[in-house]
A and B are shown apart, each in its own frame.
Chain A
Amino acid sequence: MQTITVRYSARALLGLGTVALLSLYGTYTFYSQQTERNIVQKDAFQIGAEEQHFAALKRDLAPDAVVGYISDLNEAGIQLAAQYALIPILLVDRPPGGLVVGSFSRPMDYAEFGRSHGLELIKDYGFGVILFRKVGK
């Protein structure tokens, strides 16, 4: 019957203990700060909401459709969120078929907005989602 006794050097234990405490402090700090941020930063670009808003329009368009995009806000985040929600439909600058998806942040006269951009309103899907066609197409 044998017993094995391991004696670690005090220096090594002190070093490991210090690093362990520092690391735990780091983990806890990141944890507490980020959980606070998570309370206010919920789906910052509203991807989930965009999926719901574009769902009806997506059903009306062919899966291989290539359409244009217009909005009252010129922000990359909003444009890319619309693209994500509409996949597999591709949003491009110059749509070959003349169809243009409108996405608006606030209620307005969408038909008038369209006319001022050379677009004709085809259908209003609610939530600021509009389908336009280029005049003359």
Chain B
Amino acid sequence: MLLLALSLVSSTAIGYLLASVFLPVYKPAWTDLLLKVSLGAGLGAGITSCVYFVVRISIGPSRVVAFAAEFLSLGAVAGAFWLARNVRHVAVAHAMPRGLLWWLLIGFAAALAMAADLFADSTASNPYGAWDAWAIWNSRARFFAQPNATWSRAFSPLLNQIAGAGAAHGDYPMLLSSYIARCWTWMDAIGEVAAPIATAALFWAATIGVLVSALAILRGWSTAMISGMILLGTACLLVSPWQYADTPIGLYYVSTFALILLADADSKGTLVLAGLAAGFAGWTKNEGLLFALIVTAAVVVSAFIAKNWRRIGLFAAGAAAPMAIATYFKFFMAPPTGTFAQVSPGNAMHRLMEWPRYVEIIKAFWVEGLAQGAGVANPVVCLAVMGAFLKFAPERLRNLVMISSLGALLAMYAGYFCTYVVTPLDLTWHLNTSLDRLYAQLWPSLLLLVPAMFRSAEEVATTTVTDQRDKVTRKAVAKKAKRMVQRSS
């Protein structure tokens, strides 16, 4: 168990150090620490997964070389941190609670406690996770961690062949399986359930951490706490202990958007990390490849309109390595067993013209959308109430980066919709077995981008600074001075 803890600390440290190279130092300290640790958990998992994968396919199943490569990575980012870390301080307004807003912390802590207990309870009941965990992700991890030539069975076309073509997923990207295999290699205990459980907990906690810390920096305490609470009230709660790749990909989506918004606000260099997170989404699931494409298009469009070409270069620099690995895997290693591998343009066109499919998909989106909350406590209702009471900030509705990010997210929803339209699988079965997970992937990003468009409670509050010695408020002094200026003029 100690070795598992060390393996998680090692990957998170790599991500933390890398995040510290590009991100400025945010004040108050809690926002800085939470953001970098949460981003670091995701980025570090992605980096160490890539390193482990590259070592396996280039050198073979050597535990010593795998360790050496990881320590080399840790040394490299530690060196970069030592020599080139971003020391610019950015004071964040409104990130500390004042007055009545303290009670939001109590609500958030209560929701977090229930979420943690539910994760523990679900994991105790199903330590091997849900179906896809043991049938796909952990199964492939178990093959990939083998200390002999059988590691390559993780992407064999024969994998899960006995259960029919629909069960064979040797073509799925390898981030999650490779990361879990790496943890087992650290532990020297292949198949130990603690590793996928800890990985699921790490990604879920990091998702909450990125959402809360990024919104605290961008919009303030109240927006961060409320969005965190809404996320903890969605069906993501149920998906997180399943040990699926949907929680990690949700983390990479929300990290990409958070870093794009932070880059717009503070430091353009942060776009390298945004590109890296988008690339890791592509290395996590096939949907991530679509995401990487769409979000790259959004960055290119916003850079084109702003005539700032450097943005594209920074984003591409971050995305290059993980996308290169994902592309290499897809073209040279993955078997042609994917769901859409056998879809011909003719078949796809035929399905595109079948209008009853659209009706069925819309119905399923509606029904599953309702199931994402508990009756009236639906996240969409929560966002609507938030918008009705706090209103959109007009300047944010005109912000190019905000609009392009929201456009990219909507394009993802549209992309998922179109995927169902052309799916070669039985449509009802496909919707029933995947739509809840697709919602779970996108909630964190939606709960980042939409509340970021609203005004925060702090922005619409009035602040009075009172001098205790003469009991004269600064506000009054300012008014008096203004009157004097008007009289004299």
Contact = CB atoms under 8 A, between A and B. Distances in A.
Q: Is the pairing of A and B real? A: yes
A80 B134 contact: yes
B462 interface: yes
Interface string A61-94: 0011010010000001101110110011011110
A16 interface: yes
Contact of A79 (B99, B163, B233, B457): B163
Interface in B106-123: 107, 110-111, 114-115, 117-118, 121-122
Interface residues of A, number: 57
A131 B213 CA distance: 55
Given A16-B104, A29-B377, A84 B163 contact: no
Given A27-B232, A79-B162, A34 B122 contact: yes
B134 A84 contact: yes
Contact of A23 (B131, B232, B463): B232
B142 interface: yes
B461 interface: yes
Given A20-B229, A84-B142, A7 B131 contact: no
Contacts of B98: 4, 6
A77 to B, nearest CB: 7
A80 B163 contact: yes
A88 B144 CA distance: 9
B118 A30 contact: yes
Contacts of B458: 6, 8
Contact of B111 (A24, A66, A79): A24
B385 interface: yes
Interface in A71-119: 76-77, 79-81, 83-84, 87-88, 90-93
Interface string A43-55: 1110110010000
Given A14-B389, A92-B161, A30 B374 contact: yes
Given A2-B468, A5-B466, A12-B390, A81 B134 contact: yes
A38 B122 contact: yes
Contacts of A29: 374-375, 377
A43 B466 contact: no
Nearest to A42: B125
A19 B229 contact: yes
- Of the listed residues B134, B148, B149, B382, the one surrounded by the most CB atoms of chain A closer than 10 A to its CB is B134
A16 B99 contact: no
Interface in B449-486: 457-458, 460-469
Interface stretch (B43-51, B151-159, B330-338, B395-403): B151-159
22 contacts: A2-B466, A6-B99, A6-B464, A7-B463, A8-B461, A15-B457, A19-B230, A22-B377, A22-B382, A22-B385, A26-B374, A27-B110, A27-B114, A30-B238, A34-B122, A34-B238, A47-B128, A48-B128, A81-B134, A87-B146, A88-B148, A93-B161
Which 3 A-B pairs rank lowest in CB-CB distance, beginning with the nearest?
A: A15-B389, A26-B233, A29-B374
Given A3-B468, A23-B233, A25-B374, 18 more contacts: A6-B98, A7-B461, A8-B101, A8-B460, A11-B460, A23-B230, A25-B233, A25-B377, A27-B110, A27-B229, A27-B233, A31-B117, A38-B121, A41-B126, A76-B163, A80-B163, A84-B139, A87-B143
